[in-house]
Chain A
Amino acid sequence: MKRRTDEPTLDRRAFDLLCLTMACVLGVHAPHQPWWLVAALALVLGLRWWQRRRHGTRPPLLLKLPLLALLAVAVVFTYGTIFGQQPGSALAVGLLVLKLLESETPRDARVGISFACFGLMAALLFDQGLVATFVVALGLLPALATLRALEPAQAPASLPRALLPGLALLAAAVPLALLAFALVPRLSSPLWGTANSPQARTGLSDRMSPGNFTELLTDDRPAMRVSFDGPPPAPELRYFRAYVMWLYDGRTWEHADLRRADGQRRLLETLESRGTSRYQVDLEPTNRGILPALDVPLEAPADARLSPDREVISDKPVRELLRYTLDSAIRYHLQPELPEAARRFALRLPQGFNPRTHALATQWRERHGSDDQAIVDAALALFHDGGFRYTLAPAPLGRDAVDDFLFGTREGFCEHYASSFTVLMRAAGVPSRVVTGYQGGYWNSLGNYLLVRQSDAHAWSEVWLEGRGWVRIDPTAAVRPERVSLGAAAAGDQPGWAETSWLASLRNRWDVVNHWWTQGVIGFDALRQRGLLTPFGIRDTGTAMLGMLLAIGTSLFVAIGTGWALWRRERPEPLRKALRRLEARLARAGITRRRGEGPQHYLRRAARALPAQRGELERLMNRYLELRYAHDEPVPELLREFQRAVREFRPRRVVK
């Protein structure tokens, strides 16, 4: 590329700020890149900064090219490719830092800053949490300050002060940015392959083994939205059943068609309902046939059927947004009479696993006799008081997974608790099964719907109790009640030292803020857009409508901004104001001040035109001239007198 020779070189401040911007980009990308690459790039950045400051020379091409090659090799060596999110970002950040080696002119700096902005945005593809977004937004400050520093002739300011105007600019931009954010039409389907391949994120699986929910629980994408005909159920009742799992092989729970396993046709479980709820579900594509339903559905919707366990199964996998309406029982007796075959299934455990669990269960059975409820309570008490901890990153479990969990690690999340609880129950002879689905969700009061995310995925147990049928037991709630009352946002890790009350309350508050961010910003999608606009009577939220609203809103903001820009703080001088008043009065009498006519000439002319008031006008003129020219500042008393004289002056036109 030919370099224009007449361009000046970057001054020191601009280059410092440019380096700072690049350091910010490197910093926000550091968490998801190999540490040695980050360290090497930071070293290159630091050396280049020092070198330019010290010597001010350009690095030789012989140094730049090998570094470039080294970067490409390093990326390919680490990731095996240069395409994709991770290698792409590593390459981009590397190139940005290397760009510093040849940034000498304002033009280079502008190009660098542009791509630094892109790099900042790219960092959000990895983590769009509140803190991450805030940190990334802070990276805009040095970027804007660099652009400012490229302009010539400005008052010198210290480095921190140089960052402030950018902050003010961003603050002024917030209203328009929020408007654009709220109204930009969202894409219904991606234009190109999404960052994390969609196949890997299909939501709930029909198998459950400890650990495979982790990806779901950190996935903030919506799973479904539910709007209720009546009031929504209380938060702790928002259990959406998807899969009922009976089969356990010591490691994995499996949803399987029991017809095949049992060799006989099973009947639909009987349901005695005492209170139902009608609701509509918008299910995001899952590529699976299961349709989550609140508690126990009464009947299947069209194109779907009920399994014997009252799971709703669609005839074909859900590949696009699906809407269905269901009636569900909220208070019920499910299967009050348990058939013998089903009981056998609900007690089946693999042989030779988890001896300590079996021993504990046998002990409970001996202590409580035939009181199944007491055994359930004993297990819940164990989870509540036994030093169990809720974490999304539990220690791995060995072959006797339940033993290891109950007597060893004692840390895990819903599927660990559901799985071990069910195994405990079966070992104690209480018929039980694992149910997975979603629990919680965010109630959108604007849109009147419950937003359920992948991160609301949950697993719990159902035990069959005499006279009550299948009863839902959520062992996770015994350990972490907030998981049920607050939802997935409360499901973070809880390190041991954070159990003091003030830290816990701080964490809870932080959870709420995060929750707000997650729900208000990250989850703001097409449906929420509609929810935002319906109160204003706008039902159609198509792209055209949104585009129009966006245009109107933007014009409004631009108009306000233009008004600000055009507004001038005019402090009219009182003397001038008084003279203007006099001029206005004389103009009404037909004596208009000509362009370029001085006050003396003008008032003399007026005196000639109004002979009756010659004396008065001449006094006014003399007073004005004295006020204007005799002193640096008009004397206040004289000024007041002049103003009064002007007020009292009434030109009387003489008819000639």
Chain B
Amino acid sequence: MRDALRRLQELAERRLPALTRFRRPEPMPIELNRRRIYIVPTGFGLGFTLLLLVMLAGSLNYSNNAALLLTCLLGAAGAASMLIAFRALDGLTLASVRAGQAVAGQPLALTLELESRRPRSAIRIDLDRSCQAFAIDAAGKADVTLPLATRERGWQPLPRVRVWTTWPLGLFRAWSWMHPEQSVLVWPRPEDDGPPPRLPADEGLRPRLHRGEDLAALRDYRSGDPRKHIAWKASARLGQLLSKDFEQPESRPEWRLDWRELEGMENEARIARLARWLGEAHAQGRRHSLWLPGQPIEAGSGPGHYARCMSALASLP
């Protein structure tokens, strides 16, 4: 039922954009103004109105003017709260959207940067099915991070975002749609398992002689240890000589990941495999290079390199 309604709404929005105030994607910054803020009473607002009517009838019936005055005061305050709800959104600006990184199927962290000239409270943002409340302090900025569901790799346009509030009394709901003209890049999903990359023949044989740089542990001094490996401070504390033991990294070959070597596989399967290899290489801290049609990437390691490779993979046709 809910889905049917949703589909109906989407259809109406496409067919009758003028009537449904459907907005095409627009460049940022998006500033909310009176032309795009809508207000309706909430369910509580309707109930409260009913209560006010009962109070009105009661005070008129008993010709009790004090009660009538109180009812009028409450009603007028409720009406004034509608304007405050409007002002809570009016002038709010979506300055930019920062996208996090995620593989397809995983939620992607989307950070919306909102700005305003004055502080605001209790504004909520709906994206997909998640909702986040935020306030803007005197500095005039707020970052709101929301998860965006992703399905496929590649450029994914941002969905419409609903900004709404029931501030201050919960009687009225003011809302507006923002549709930022921006896409986020979703990384391909790595395949679950498969063969390891084929290493070049000469690569595995090259001896690795340099010592590791990372300090592994302290051990008792053995004669023959180089003097500069003695941990003087620790030794002084314990009263016996200690040597710094350095990790001996096993020799790890660099991976050359190549699109061309996966001939005969389907496009997406190739991408998924490369994605898995990239992930493994990144997890092991292994240097790797990536060759993709039209965009070879030099060997490297670290998160920046990994992101570059994944993004290149994601944006393959």
Contacts and interface: CB of A to CB of B under 8 A. Distances in A.
Do A and B bind? yes
Q: Is the interface of A mostly helix, strand, loop or mixed?
A: helix
A172 B61 contact: no
A144 B77 contact: yes
A512 interface: no
Interface range on chain B: under 10, 10 to 19, 20 to 34, or 35 or more?
Answer: 35 or more
B76 A144 contact: no
A381 B170 CA distance: 66
A184 B56 contact: yes
Interface string B163-187: 0011111110000000000000000
A129 to B, nearest CB: 8
A638 B192 CA distance: 65
Contacts of A170: 73, 77
A158 interface: no
Contacts of B51: 114-115, 117-118
B90 A566 contact: yes
A154 interface: yes
A128 B121 contact: no
Contacts of B169: 144, 147-148
Interface string B241-253: 0000000000000
B55 A153 contact: no
Interface in A591-643: none
A349 interface: no
Contacts of B74: 117, 140
A225 to B, nearest CB: 15
A28 to B, nearest CB: 11
A4 interface: no
A125 B167 contact: no
Given A120-B70, A147-B169, A187-B60, A524 B65 contact: yes
Contact of B168 (A110, A165, A523): A165
B72 A181 contact: yes
Nearest to A143: B74
Given A133-B69, A151-B166, A568 B91 contact: yes
Contacts of A522: 65-66
Contact of A184 (B68, B90, B165): B68
B12 interface: no
Contact of B67 (A114, A125, A148): A125
Nearest to B168: A148
Given A121-B59, A153-B134, A153-B135, A177 B69 contact: yes
A186 interface: yes
A144 B48 CA distance: 13
B76 A174 contact: yes
A133 B64 CA distance: 11
B212 interface: no
Given A155-B135, A173-B80, A184-B68, A137 B73 contact: yes
A180 interface: yes
A87 to B, nearest CB: 16
B8 interface: no
A175 B72 CA distance: 10
A147 B170 contact: yes
Contact of A187 (B63, B77, B81, B83): B63
Contact of A177 (B56, B64, B75, B168): B75
Interface in A133-174: 133, 136-137, 140, 144, 147-148, 150-155, 165, 169-170, 172-174
B58 interface: yes
B73 A140 contact: yes
Choose among B34, B70, B71 the residue with the greatest number of A CB atoms under 10 Å from its CB.
Answer: B70
Contacts, number: 166
A352 interface: no
A479 B168 CA distance: 56
Given A128-B66, A148-B169, A173-B79, A154 B86 contact: no
Choose among A154, A178, A221 the residue with the greatest number of B CB atoms under 10 Å from its CB.
Answer: A154
Contacts of A114: 44, 47-48, 51
A177 B83 contact: no
Contact of A173 (B60, B61, B68, B73): B73
Contacts of B64: 124-125, 128, 195
A169 B81 contact: yes
A399 B121 CA distance: 72
A283 to B, nearest CB: 17
B282 interface: no
Given A176-B79, A523-B65, A566-B90, A151 B168 contact: yes
Interface in B82-101: 83-84, 86-87, 90-91
Given A132-B66, A192-B61, A566-B34, A169 B135 contact: no
Contact of B58 (A121, A144, A174): A121
A478 B119 CA distance: 66
Given A144-B169, A151-B122, A154-B122, A184 B62 contact: no
Nearest to A520: B65
A152 B169 CA distance: 11
B124 interface: yes
Given A118-B51, A177-B73, A172 B170 contact: no
23 contacts: A115-B51, A121-B58, A121-B70, A124-B67, A128-B64, A128-B67, A133-B70, A140-B70, A148-B168, A153-B121, A154-B122, A169-B80, A169-B81, A173-B76, A177-B72, A180-B75, A180-B76, A186-B63, A194-B61, A521-B65, A562-B83, A565-B83, A568-B91
The 3 closest A-B pairs by CB, nearest first: A128-B66, A173-B76, A152-B133
Given A180-B76, A184-B56, A192-B61, 15 more contacts: A117-B74, A118-B51, A122-B58, A125-B67, A128-B67, A137-B73, A147-B170, A152-B133, A155-B135, A169-B168, A173-B80, A176-B80, A177-B76, A184-B60, A191-B60
